[in-house]
Structure 1
Amino acid sequence: MATSILGLDIGGANLKAATANGRAVSVPFPLWKQPDRLPTALVELVSQFPGTDELAVTMTGELCDCFETKRDGVHAIIAAVRRASGGHPVRVWSTDGVFLNSEEAKQNHMKVAAANWHALATFAGRFAPDYGGLLLDIGSTTTDIIPLNHGVPSTYGTTDWDRLQTRELVYAGVRRTPVCAVWTDRVCAELFATTQDVYTILGQLPEEPENRDTADNRPLTVEYSLARLARMLGGDREALNDDQIIHFATRIHSRLKQQLVESTRAVYYDTQSPPELRTVIVSGAGEFLARLVAATAFPETAAQTISLNDKLGPTVSACAPAYAVAVLATEHRS
């Protein structure tokens, strides 16, 4: 089936593309290591969707430290998208809740920088049309906690700076977060292990023997994850047994869950009169953790929990912001 509008979510570690009819592709791309390759990588990604005649774009990659400023990052990403567009229209989502053309986006760079959370929340609001709702999206790197008021994002901040202060953005996820950023007591303050080691050991993430995007560039398997986590404690597989390391993984998980519970409750209840919470929407690579956080944060409510994995399927859900801008742009065109 021919594609018309293709949604793109251009992050710092992954490039994601999706169509409104439910086709999605995610490819790893460490933007901070190879910004000059972004145009080529986008051309290759877009070429997988023949029939595309318009690109709907959102981004977070402008934060990468390969760019001097966010303005530079936004401009570079838009230039790369335009090269990949083949001359077709490009629309960029803004936190005003509208699409901007590429020139407007460059002139309003802070409204399109890191706006993928807003696009996702705007789309997800249709699953919580009445009273209060909350989108809890836990990804590989960050967590977004977004209140919804009758389906509309109702936040106090729109920039990363603002959202970090209000706790609507928590820089922790289930794959790329260094363990020493979660657990600071009597551990090595080194990038010896990340949260994907924790959740691989605990069986929440699958082993990926071909994946070497790990702290020590060794495969993502339980065996190697145990070794990386042992190193965090100043030990190794000879000094520490499996039970000791698994116990440490469990404690890290509990600490991260509690941090996210506290942020989630603060975001929803630190208002004068939040609407009655009726719906919690969970999504992202860490949806399994989002479910636990929601159940712990709101045990007193009868809020319905809706899974975007269930609604969209795991492949599309993994590219949810790209899918969101594809849907929103298609609806806008209609």
Structure 2
Amino acid sequence: MSNVVIGWDIGGAHVKAVMLDAQGRVLRVSQQACALWKGLDRLEDSLQKVLDLWSLEPNQSMHVVTMTGELVDLFENRAQGVRAIADTVKKYLPQAMFYMASQADKSAFVALVDGKESGIASMNWHASAQCLAEIYADLSMLIVDIGSTTCDITVCNAQQVLANGWTDAERMASQGLLYTGVVRTPLMALGPYIEWQQQARHIAAEYFATTADVYRVLQELPSKHDLADTADGQDRSLYASTRRLARMVGHDLEDGDTIHWRSLAQAFRDKQLNILVNAIQSCTKKSAMQPQTLTGLGAGSFLLPEIAHRLGMIYKPASASILADDPQLKNDAEVCFPAYAVARLWQAWH
């Protein structure tokens, strides 16, 4: 397996890995829950689990890494987080290389992170955008990655990433980075009001439910991507999800029937879509380019065909760019696209 490349995306809640063969075809994809804020031992467990699952010795293949986990409150600051994650990764993958990018320097892979922390921290969005920009070299496009926790919005043109900022703070200020996703986002973050039953309804400013409850009730969230703990620590069943959802508007589950609560879930879905559409419009208005194609990826990519339609754009799933014999592997790699991207970029550049 010496020609195999494995890309890793180390987040604060998940570790994702994608294995490519020498021709760039996806062989395997893995996503592991990893509550990194609870300790680096969680990351160690996730790394070891993937290595065991794939029966890999660390030196059997090349490993390339991007990350966002450095921002969890386990660390005093992002620089400390980058160094701690890199040190942990190196214990299990001694030859690992780390993706970095900045406004001043060309994107590249580096073996050592000291002094380069700012170019490594939270650059998985850039890896995805750079990969797609190189694949679709002649295409101007909007790339939207809706994940479990956040959404990244980036414009690319002529193999260039037209960034909305280079730090989380800059990208949040420009709405290129939104803290809204399809699994972990507390529903109170979509408030303080939603439109339901033909009126504005105030929602509880309590951690009663998350977006995962919405998309479970609407049967849009695949269970393999539904890995986070629930708000009340109970199970992920339709019954428990609906009960949590009802609580957000001051109701008990027994106050309505299935149709009633599905309409509430749809109201929360509509509110999140409106937030996403408004952010995308804000980003594209600021861009020198006005792309006509929206390329979608992430666990919440199921929302993007409708968003593209609302915006009058052509929709192209990122899975269309992924090489794999099995269609399911394509879909899984689309959800874990930053891990796929760093592996593919490594192959393209070396």
How many angstroms does 1:183 deviate by? 2.5
**1:171 corresponding residue in structure 2:** 179
Distance 1:311 1:128 in 2: 8
**1:102 corresponding residue in structure 2:** 111
The residue correspondences of 1:143-292 to structure 2 (distance < 5 A) are 143-185=151-193, 186-206=202-222, 213-271=229-287, 273-274=288-289, 276-292=290-306
Shift of the 11–212 alpha-carbon distance from structure 1 to 2, 3 Å rule, reads closer
- CA contact under 8 A between 1:212 and 1:220: conserved in structure 2? no
How many angstroms does 1:106 deviate by? 2.3
How many angstroms does 1:196 deviate by? 0.8
Q: Does 1:83 align with 2:88?
A: no
Shift of the 304–211 alpha-carbon distance from structure 1 to 2, 3 Å rule, reads closer
Specify every segment of 5 or more residues in structure 2 that has no aligned partner in the other structure, as ranges: 194-201, 323-329
**Quick check: 277-286 or 110-119, which moved more?**
277-286
- CA contact under 8 A between 1:137 and 1:290: conserved in structure 2? no
Aligned residues: 323
Distance 1:327 1:211 in 2: 26
Distance 1:284 1:27 in 2: 15
Q: Which amino acid aligns with 1:43?
A: Q
TM-score of the aligned structures, taking structure 2 as reference length: 0.86
- SS at 2:315 equivalent: strand
Shift of the 212–79 alpha-carbon distance from structure 1 to 2, 3 Å rule, reads closer
Shift of the 143–218 alpha-carbon distance from structure 1 to 2, 3 Å rule, reads same
Distance 1:112 1:91 in 2: 11
**1:67 corresponding residue in structure 2:** 75
How many angstroms does 1:2 deviate by? 5.2
Distance 1:259 1:287 in 2: 15
- CA contact under 8 A between 1:60 and 1:115: conserved in structure 2? yes
**2:199 corresponding residue in structure 1:** none
Q: Deviations over 1:280-323 (max 9, x none)?
A: 211111111122222212x2xxx432112344311211211111
How many angstroms does 1:52 deviate by? 3.2
Identical residues among aligned pairs (%): 32
How many angstroms does 1:211 deviate by? 5.9
**2:326 corresponding residue in structure 1:** none
Shift of the 256–211 alpha-carbon distance from structure 1 to 2, 3 Å rule, reads closer
**Quick check: 237-246 or 138-147, which moved more?**
237-246
Shift of the 28–211 alpha-carbon distance from structure 1 to 2, 3 Å rule, reads closer
How many angstroms does 1:212 deviate by? 7.1
- SS at 1:153 equivalent: strand
**2:40 corresponding residue in structure 1:** 35
Q: Which amino acid aligns with 1:177?
A: T
Distance 2:48 2:108 in 1: 22
State the Cα RMSD in Å.
Answer: 2.0
Q: Which amino acid aligns with 1:259?
A: I
**2:318 corresponding residue in structure 1:** 308
Q: Which amino acid aligns with 1:304?
A: I
Distance 2:41 2:314 in 1: 45
Q: Which amino acid aligns with 1:331?
A: A
How many angstroms does 1:45 deviate by? 2.3
- CA contact under 8 A between 2:35 and 2:42: conserved in structure 1? no
**2:14 corresponding residue in structure 1:** 14
TM-score of the aligned structures, taking structure 1 as reference length: 0.90
**2:198 corresponding residue in structure 1:** none
**Quick check: 309-318 or 73-82, which moved more?**
309-318
Distance 2:338 2:156 in 1: 17
- CA contact under 8 A between 1:58 and 1:93: conserved in structure 2? yes
- CA contact under 8 A between 1:17 and 1:323: conserved in structure 2? yes
Q: Which amino acid aligns with 1:327?
A: R
Specify every segment of 5 or more residues in structure 1 that has no aligned partner in the other structure, as ranges: none
- Runs of 4 or more, structure 1, over 4 Å off, are none
